[in-house]
Amino acid sequence: MIRQILGGTLALATAAAIGLAPAQAQPQDVTVGFVLPLSGGSATIGNQTKLGAQVAAEQINAAGGIASLGGAKLKLIFADSQSKPDIGASETERLIQRENVSLLVGAYNSAVTFPASEVAERYKTPWIVTGAVKDEITERGFKYVFRPNNKATYDAREQLDAMDLLKKETGKGPSSIGLFYEGTDWGRSHAANIKKFAKERGYTISLDESFPPNQVDFTAQLLKIRASKPEALIVVAYTPDHLLFTRQYFENKINIPYGIHSVGGGSEDPSFYKAVPQKAVDYLFVQEDWQIDRLKTDKDPRVLDANTRFKAQAGYDINSYGAQGISNVYLIKDVLERAASTDREKIRDALAATDITSGMPLIVGYQRIKFDEQGQNTFGHGVISENIGGERRTIWPSANRAPDTKPVWPVPDWSAR
């Protein structure tokens, strides 16, 4: 032992004598767990979120990592929920207990996020919600769950706000609305909020139809839609069901005067647009979780670099879910810089104190990220796009609408297209 100590002392003295500083220990990586649907019906969306997160981590690590932790690098660990609540919960526990992650992000599907985030809360591990909008996720009095994105209430309000704006601008608009939604937490939550807001604003609900996920035929439901004659139809569906519905709706040529209004999900997935004819999505309104036409005017070199990296692997530009992955990881960087620690409690406190008004965490289009006492970012919002001339163009809010964007309202009958 004495020899070891003397040897170490001699080595330090020798290093000092020749002008070399003693070797510094490398900072440990910060491990961040992601629970996402990487297989199954929501796999394309889960993998888009994953890619966005990886792109952001590459940028951050290449720029020096987390300065307050001595340049520590971010290490992302991904777990596959398969869109199943029980698997999402068990994978959350594995990431916390075995991988010893400092914090978690997940899980897109509301039905997975709800129980999985409860596991994180039980283990006092910070959880950043990505994509999931079920209102109750941030209405349980939890201390460790934070959601930067919209909740279902906000999504529903935005869809009706857009209709009201177009009605104000043109003097024309629907009086009746149909609801067609998938029957899990997300769809039911959104439908309940639409019905609440519709009643307040004087709209009648002419159709209230839910369906189990992963349908093989929508013929019966399309007959109900045709018979109920909604003047506008709100659709809530993940990618596989949105694809099938859109194809069959297009084949049946049902006229809905003020169009189909999708609350994202499948209609924000680039694979959806590759799999259906353009005419099937002409004049489709989508509640987007990021401004889809932003890249045309954005000059931020980090955004452009992120898009180059994302497109090189995905084959298309950043979309809503890629942008959310990027935003999540840059939010984590901001939090870690302020926490200056990988301790879960200190990270939780830094999350609670977050107030971001600029930078890459806002890539999705928010003006601010600041959490209320329940962990909800009250400044989270999306935009409404309309597919015009083969492009999704932002039409709401009007402040985000490009000068050359002219909404088509009402939409043409099929016979006139």
CATH of the domain at 60: 3.40.50.2300
Does 17 reside within a domain?
no
pTM for this predicted structure: 0.84
pLDDT of residue 25: 67
Distance CA 159, CA 48 (A): 24
Q: Are 255 and 234 contained in the same domain?
A: yes
Amino acid identity, position 197: F
DSSP character for 182?
E
DSSP character for 66?
B
Amino acid identity, position 40: G
Does 390 reside within a domain?
yes
Amino acid identity, position 142: F
Distance CA 20, CA 15 (A): 5
Does 97 reside within a domain?
yes
Place of tokens 């492009």: 391
* Residue 326 near residue 52, CB atoms below 8 Å: yes
pLDDT of residue 148: 98
Does 377 reside within a domain?
no
Does 134 reside within a domain?
yes
Q: Could you count the other beta carbons within 10 Å of the beta carbon of residue 134?
A: 22
pLDDT of residue 16: 42
Does 7 reside within a domain?
no
Q: Are 277 and 333 contained in the same domain?
A: no
pLDDT of residue 21: 46
Distance CA 259, CA 155 (A): 17
* Residue 210 near residue 187, CB atoms below 8 Å: yes
pLDDT of residue 11: 43
pLDDT of residue 185: 87
Q: Are 177 and 261 contained in the same domain?
A: yes
Q: Are 190 and 167 contained in the same domain?
A: yes
Tokens (6 digits) for 304: 């452009």
Q: Are 78 and 223 contained in the same domain?
A: no
Q: Within a 13 Å sphere around the CA of 43, how many CA atoms are in the beta-carbon half?
A: 6
Q: Are 195 and 94 contained in the same domain?
A: no
Per-residue confidence of the chain (417 residues) as pLDDT tens digits? 333 333 444 343 434 444 444 445 688 999 999 999 999 989 999 999 999 999 999 999 999 999 999 999 999 999 999 999 999 999 999 999 999 999 999 999 999 999 999 999 999 999 999 999 999 999 999 999 999 999 999 999 999 999 999 999 999 999 999 999 999 989 999 999 999 999 999 999 999 999 999 999 999 999 999 999 999 999 999 999 999 999 999 999 999 999 999 998 899 999 999 999 999 999 999 999 888 888 888 889 999 999 999 999 999 999 999 999 999 999 999 999 999 999 999 999 999 999 999 999 999 988 899 999 999 999 999 999 999 999 999 999 998 899 999 999 999 999 999
Distance CA 409, CA 417 (A): 14
Distance CA 286, CA 265 (A): 9
Q: Which residues span the domain enclosing 349?
A: 30-149+299-370
Does 396 reside within a domain?
yes
Q: Are 276 and 304 contained in the same domain?
A: no
Number of compact structural domains in the chain: 2
Q: Are 160 and 145 contained in the same domain?
A: no
Q: Are 139 and 157 contained in the same domain?
A: no
Terminal-to-terminal C-alpha distance of the chain:
87
Amino acid identity, position 129: V
